[in-house]
Structures are given as structure tokens and as C-alpha cells.
Structure 1
Amino acid sequence: MAFEVGDKVEVCSKVEGFVGSYYEARVVSKLNDGGYKVRYKNLVEEEDHSRLLVEKVSADEVRPMPPRIGGKGTQFSYFEKEKVDAFDNDGWWVGNVTGKDDSKYWVYFETTGDHIAYPVSRLRKHLDWSNGFWVLPDPRRLLS
């Protein structure tokens, strides 16, 4: 999928310890090699924390923003073992719901082994980007 300057996208991290996380960005320019220069929404430069990070990324690291499921203020009920995205450390991380405690949902992250509680405001339904379309995850691949 080709993106245009100004498009909102998500960029996957290939950095060890961050694999499987996605960061919101906007396309700043298209590169001759097919990649993009992006400006992140939440990541800042190491040397100057007042400036948003701009970096070059390959086309296979970029996907469109997933659609919002439900409208603003919509409350969801997440089910045990359901795949979700949790917003943490400035990005979206894929995990599985393992339970609910009061108003927070416990999420297990297979890539890091972490088990963390989140309010519903920091969760979103997980969708997979596959062959140019957003699709619901295969329920047979849920945490067993």
C-alpha cells in the first residue's frame, strides 16, 4: 500500500525489546527507495525532548491507522483471552486479556512476558493488517 505525504500511519518497531509494538506517525515524505520519512506523534529526539522524532522507515514497517471500532465514549467489554492493543510506552502493544479487576483489564504480553492492568481508555480491539485489509484475528490463535 502506498502512502501520501500527510497520511497518518503506524510504524512497527524492529528494535529488540520493542518488537510487536506500533507507533503513531505522519508521513513527511516519500523516499526514492520506496520507504518513507515519518514524524512520530509521541516519540521525541534523544538529544532534544522538545522535538518529535523524525526518521526514515522502510515500506514494510508502515501500515495505515486501524479503524476505530465504535464511537467516542463507547464502552467495550473485553473477554478473557481476547487479543487487544494496549497503549503503553508511547505505542500500541499486542496482548491478550487475562482477566478484569474493578475497572481495569489485565493484559499479558507474550513478547515481553509482562502482565499489566489497564483502564479501558488505554485499550483497543486488535485488528490484523493482512493483504491490504483490516481483519479480526483468528480466534483459534488466542492464548491457550
Structure 2
Amino acid sequence: MLTLASKLKRDDGLKGSQTAATASDSTRRVSVRDKLLVKELTVTPDEGYYQGGKFQFETEVPDAYNMVPPKVKCLTKIWHPNITETGEICLSLLREHSIDGTGWAPTRTLKAVDVVWGLNSLFTDLLNFDDPLNIEAAEHHLRDKEDFRNKVDDYIKRYAR
């Protein structure tokens, strides 16, 4: 059986001794694990402030997955209280340890049930102005909801189509 550990060990042994052109087909195959894990996600909210936008997220899967959570970053520039303009995300299920007990668990997956659901929820029911990562966006919403919506719409038109 081909496992990720054996593939990595074999790949390390090939480095320097063979070029990619002479490596056998079996060493170039992608492991089943790599095929099953989602590397990039698109979220398209169908309600709320972010309706109509397409938001790209990159997923970095650590070697210790699924004992540790994947690292997820928003690639689409966005004006959001829980996502910084550089793409960092505040989502408890992506934390190894969380105060509310909803952090990462080895039983969670990158499938729609867990990570994709969580990312979708950042645009609806988990949209949190009270505990923001992007404080400026949250304060903007508190000061002027209409102007906040206009800025979100502008970001969607510019970056999320």
C-alpha cells in the first residue's frame, strides 16, 4: 500500500540522484491523500452583504493533518470584519484550540460538512462584528451600515467577480 510517509521517504531518496525526467512513473504519482484534499475553494454567498461575490480560498494542508487543522487563507481582497485584507481568517473551527469548544478535531474534514460550511457561514450566520479580526471593517459597519454595504459592493465589483 502506498502511504504518504512512504512516498515522501522515497521522494527524499530520489532527490539529487535522479532528475524528474528519469524518475519512474510511480514516484511521480500523487498520493490518494493529496487527491482527496481540497487545495482551493470558491465560496459564493447567496444572501447577505456578500451576495453575488466569488471568493477564493487557498488551503494549506500540514503534514500532521488531520490531527491539526488546515491553514486557510482568503485569496480574494475583501472588506469583512472576520477576514483581513491580506487574507487571514478568524474562524474557530480552523483553530487547533478554541475557547468555545468548536475548534479543530481530527474528525473534521475539508469537505463541505466542515471547512467549506464554515467558510460559507463567515458570510452569513458567523459574520461577527462584535469580535472582529478586521477591526476597521467592524467599526465601519458600526458607524455607517449603508456606507459599509457600499464598500463591500465596491470590493465585490473589483475583486470578487
Q: Same fold (TM over 0.5)?
A: no
TM-score normalised according to structure 1 size? 0.27
Q: Which has the higher helix share?
A: 2
Please report the TM-score for the alignment, with normalisation by the length of structure 2. 0.25
Relative contact order, higher structure (CA 8 A, sep 6+): 2
